[in-house]
Structure 1
Amino acid sequence: MNATNVLHMLGRFFGLFSIPSLLCAVWAFSNDRYQQASLFILVVTVSAVLGAVFLVSSSSKNLHKAGLKEIVAFLTAVWGGMSVLGALPFLMLTQSDPISALLESVSCLTTTGTSLVPPDTVLPASIIAWRGILHITGAMLAISGTLLLVATQSSVGQGLRRLQAIGIWTRLNFASFMKIFLISGAVLLALFLLCFNTLLFEGLPLRDAFALAVGAITTGQVFPYDASILNGTMFSGTVICVTLFFASINLANILMLIRAPQRARIDIETIGILAGMLLLFVLIYAAHPQLGSLASAVHAFSIVSTSGLLLSPDDAHLLGWPVIIFFGFVGGATASSTGGMKFFRFRLLAARALHEFSRLAQPKAIQNFRFSGMRNPVEAMLSVWVYLIGFACVTVMIAGYLALTGMSFEASISTAVGAITNSAALFHVENMNLTPNPVTKLILTFSMLFGRLELLLLFSLIIRN
């Protein structure tokens, strides 16, 4: 592995991250929050120093030759560094408890949205902005990191051919990570402005409009809200649903609409996610007509996108935990704010199951299994099964530990799955009837990173490489 390449890219990233950190520091200082401002200044200083040191000590000459090991090392380092830096401004809220601050930071970065801060705590504007910045940065990292990993392993499937059609695929490499990162940020910013301005126009306070808009574009929760906050509005619920849908689909589809609308078409992932949202909407509305069509739609889109946005713990029982857990595992498309490879794996397993049924019906026929341009992808199938088995084992171990701490069976399963799938619809603080001890906080923190980074997949790729 070429460590120089990794250090150079880390220097670029931390140097860029110091800019929004400085804005939060200025905001806190202008509101006479001097202690809070000093923590932001510490983040700015550390980010700028790290960026300068890494850039000075490295070179960008061989970035185009970087491979899988460099990408995995960079992603692991940047997620770990961001988690620590993001925790610093939360130290005042957590009474200088570094473990609780780290959990808050990781929860924001992974766009899970769970917070251990008491709900009646009045947060300064700079902290609200900081939570939003961490959510957006985490979503951008998830999208660009997934694109790089997929581009390194395969040039077909998972939306990459669509990127190639509009001229972006040729720039999908380690050297252009920052460009991919900023492109994803521009798309998220456009979605944010659409949702934010609509919420403001319909009379929501600035703080609530900002939190809901960021939560919608990142499929997470900046703060937990109830659907009743949209009472009296006409378009806000619809705009939030549309934003959650676009945040859950592949970035390639959105870029195709922007850069080459004449070539735009609906792919299988987009159809599957939209079908899941509409199906769940019909089920919720049929089972609970008293909610109304708009609230039912918001709940359905929130569950399928794993955001948990505008979904209270009581609302989570609308269709029972098994349904919500299922959508937590399926999640959104590859290279989306929802992140991960969840829906792609589900498609692959479903396609393979249909192929096996076809072979049972015609046992003597010669049938080749093809999927997204791949013929007989045996290695892909084995990796999917191994990943799911490992994923289930880790989930069971975490749920077992949480049950030993005093959680009920349902709460322990829900919390474990919610943490690993970064689903705020499942990961509710209210389920923790006891104050989490430091070990529990660390386990939940690692679980959220484990799910967002998909560590099993990264390790398997490195070993195979």
Structure 2
Amino acid sequence: MPAIFSICSLVLAGFSACLIAPFTVAVMGQSVKHIEGFGLLFVSYVFLSVVVILAFNRQASRLSRGGMFVLACCCWLTLVLAATIPFILLERMSFLGAFYEASSAATALGTTFLVPDTIATPMKAYRAIVAWFGGFLTLALIVYVLSPYRVGGLPNRDLRFVLHSTGYSGPKLFRTLAAIALPYIGLTILCLLILLIQGVRPLDATLAATAAMSTNGFLPTQSGGSIFNNRAAEITMIGFMVVGGTSIIWHRMIFARRFDLLWREHRESIGAIVLILGIGLLVALINGLTSDQPFAFLRHIFDVASTMTTTGVTHQTSQVSSVPLLLAFMLAMGGAATFSTSGGIKLYRLGIMLLNSLLQARQLVFPNAILSGRLEERFGSSGAIKAIWSFFFLFILTMCLGMLGFAILGMSFEDAFSSSVGSLSSVANLVTADAVRGEHGYLIGLWISAIALAGKLEILVILAAISDIRQR
């Protein structure tokens, strides 16, 4: 437990540093209430994290395998609870409402009880920075927990590009966090600068940059026909949504100029880019042939990229997404690349399941033939392939349970299915927004929070943590 407390306090310390962003926005807007609120919370969180680190750091020891899964759950709970308090203090919400807002922001879902136009500017910045930090926590836990222990059959190759230690403390821990944080921060700042150069307002550019890198669906910047009414800025947004949905290891390979490994070892990220362009072109052709509206390739690419990377922002808020609903469900459940902030099953798992199914089909046709075992040689033992199928089953089961819960709370079948897929994969524009403002709004919000957190943590981690706690 001391090691878990120490690392959770590091999460709290990192989150407190993020509060500088909304505090700065509050100072620029001369909002006294938000200046006092974020200032006091920053001091309180820093003090609490320092006290916990000093109290438990020397007692901490290396965590067991089960302890790592408990740690992952505790880190997310720390972030959500810490993010809940500002909503209670500054927006006078009840605990359930604040918990929903905090979990929606932290998991990069991006839905809200409130009408976006009524949200104060510092709170918009706060929601954006919570989602951005949630994206960083997602990457850190993938590198430290999910991939090394092959949760759900995830790959653990080439982790040397980012993982330098599995210990709870020491310089190697911070070296690993720096290997994740520096490109994440650098790419966010690069996106921000490009959007500013292209004429986007500073606040809108900041929200868009953090949303793109964390694949967050909270982006209340639409004015008129589209996101920015600025074609160049929208192309930039597409590019950085794709960056957010591709592998951080792939990015590190590019920075390290290891171009020989880009195609041989990490085809998943390239496949995600090809799929976004191909499906976007297909949707554009279909809509262009069946609609009286002018051919708008940019809009279709934007909506496809937003859905597949699980960002969940619609190019034109006055209209529904240009992606057909059934295709949107498939893209959201599939997600993008491993080692990214995107949700969903991930293309790696889908690819392995497809290859494994084809191999099984060949064995049905030629039961006595000696077939190549390259699938297991390349992607690990048969146990890893079984783990992928187990994860897929649990993902579908969780989606069905989510749909059942929404149906019990009064949603129609279509809304319940869409909200379940959207919550589990963190795709904001698939979640029925009006449902949380209805009769059972708080209960629906709490259920959305539970499904979204299960999707970010991956249900296998939650089950493993429960199993470890029960054995103690």
TM-score by length of 1: 0.88
For 1:7, the equivalent position in structure 2 comes to 5
* 1:213 match: 209
**1:156-177 deviations in whole A, cap 9, x for unaligned?**
x95643343x5x4443554444
User: Could you report, residue by residue, the CA deviation over 1:333-357 in whole angstroms, capped at 9, with x for unpaired residues?
Assistant: 1110215652222122112111112
Pairwise CA distance, 1:257: 0.9
In 2 relative to 1, CA 68–311 (structure 1 residues): closer, same or farther, beyond 3 Å?
farther
1:142 corresponds, among 138, 143, 168, to 138
Letter in 2 for 1:273: A
Structure 1, residues 41-88: CA drift from partner, whole Å, max 9, x if none? 34324422331222122235865x333233222221121121111122
Partner amino acid, structure 2, of 1:195: C
Counterparts of 1:190-269 in structure 2 under 5 Å? 190-226=186-222, 228-229=225-226, 233-266=230-263, 267-269=266-268
Q: Does 1:448 align with 2:447?
A: no
Q: Which amino acid aligns with 1:103?
A: Y
What does 1:360-399 align with in structure 2 at a 5 Å threshold?
360-367=364-371, 369-371=373-375, 373=377, 377-399=381-403
What secondary structure, in the 3-state scheme, does the structure 1 residue paired with 2:117 have? coil
Give me the whole-angstrom Cα distance separating, in 2, the residues matched to 1:152 and 1:122.
40
Aligned partner of 1:24 in structure 2 is 22
Which digits, 9 at most, give the CA deviation of each residue in 1:270-294, with x for residues without a partner? 1321222122111211122325121
Secondary structure of the 1:338 match is coil
- Residue 433 of structure 2 corresponds to which residue in structure 1? 429
- Conserved in 2, the CA contact under 8 Å of 1:215 and 1:309? no
Note if contact 2:299-2:322 (Cα within 8 Å) is conserved in structure 1.
no
Written as runs of structure 1 = structure 2, the 5 A alignment for 1:38-117 is 38-59=36-57, 65-91=62-88, 94-117=91-114
Which residue matches 2:272?
273
Contact 1:25 1:37 (C-alpha < 8 Å) held by counterparts: yes
CA distance in structure 1 between the partners assigned to 2:75 and 2:364 by the alignment: 48
Cα root mean square deviation, aligned = 2.9
Q: Which has the higher contact order (CA 8 A, sep 6+)?
A: 2
Q: Following the alignment from structure 2 to structure 1, what is the Cα–Cα distance between the partners of residues 114 and 456?
A: 22
Q: Which residue of 1 aligns with 2:286?
A: 287
Please state how far the C-alpha of 1:184 moved relative to its aligned partner. 2.3
Which of 159, 165, 168 does residue 171 from structure 1 map onto? 165
Does the 8 Å CA contact 1:368/1:376 hold for their aligned counterparts?
no
Number of the residue aligned with 1:118: 115
Report which stretch shifted further, 311-320 or 402-411: 311-320
Secondary structure, counterpart of 1:203 in structure 2: coil
Q: 5+ unaligned residues in a row in structure 2: which ranges? A: 289-293
- Listed one character per residue, the Cα deviations across residues 104-144 of structure 1 (whole Å, up to 9, x for unaligned) are 111111111111211331422x2222112111111111111
Tell me the SS of whatever aligns to 1:288: helix
Partners of 2:386 and 2:465 in 1: CA distance = 13
What secondary structure does 1:153 align onto?
coil
Q: Return 232-241 or 174-183, whichever deviates more.
A: 174-183
Question: 8 Å contact 1:407–1:432 — kept in the other structure?
Answer: no
- Distance, in Å, in 1 between the alignment partners of 2:465 and 2:355 is 23
* 1:161 alignment partner, SS class: coil
The question of whether the paired residues in 2 share the 8 Å contact of 1:215 and 1:307 is answered with yes
Mapped contact 2:436–2:445 kept (Cα < 8 A):
no
How far, CA to CA, are the matches of 2:63 and 2:419 in structure 1?
38
CA displacement at 1:331 relative to structure 2: 0.5
CA 1:275 to 1:433, structure 2 compared with 1: closer, same or farther past 3 Å? same
Q: Match of 2:26, as an amino acid?
A: A
Instruction: Kindly indicate whether residue 302 of structure 2 is the aligned counterpart of residue 298 of structure 1.
Output: yes
Quote the Cα distance in structure 1 between the aligned partners of 2:300 and 2:11: 40
Q: What amino acid does structure 2 have at the position aligned with 1:356?
A: Q
Which of 325, 328, 348 is equivalent to 2:329?
Answer: 325
Give 1:433 deviation, angstroms: 7.2
CA contact (8 A) 1:224 1:310 kept: no
- Shift in alpha-carbon separation, 1:387–1:150, aligned structure 2, 3 A: closer
Residues in 2 aligned to 1:224 and 1:33: alpha-carbon distance in whole angstroms: 20
C-alpha distance 130-181 of structure 1, shift in aligned 2 (>3 A) = farther
CA contact (8 A) 1:225 1:311 kept: no
Which amino acid in structure 1 is aligned with residue 141 of structure 2?
G
Query: Any idea what SS the aligned residue of 1:425 has?
Result: helix
- Tell me whether 189-198 or 130-139 shows the greater mean CA deviation: 189-198
User: 1:462 and 1:394, CA in 2 relative to 1: closer, same or farther beyond 3 A?
Assistant: closer
Q: Structure 1: which amino acid aligns with 2:201? A: P
Q: Which amino acid aligns with 1:249?
A: T
- The answer on whether the counterparts of 2:150 and 2:384 sit within 8 Å (CA) in structure 1 is no
SS in structure 2 of the partner of residue 235 of structure 1? helix
Structure 1 residue 234, shift from structure 2 partner: 4.3
Aligned partners of 1:144 and 1:181 also within 8 Å: yes
329-338 vs 200-209, which moves further: 200-209
Structure 1: tracts of 5 or more residues without a match: none
Tell me how far apart the structure 1 counterparts of residues 343 and 376 of structure 2 sit (CA, whole Å).
19
**Stretch of structure 1 that moved more, 357-366 or 75-84:** 357-366
Name which of structure 1's ranges 263-272 and 301-310 shifts more when overlaid on structure 2: 263-272
Amino acid in structure 1 at the alignment position of 2:16: S
Q: Is the 8 A contact 1:110 1:422 kept in 2?
A: yes
Shift of 1:189: 2.1
**Using a 3 Å threshold, how does the CA distance of structure 1 residues 106 and 230 change in structure 2: closer, same or farther?**
closer
Q: Which amino acid aligns with 2:303?
A: H
TM-score (norm 2): 0.87
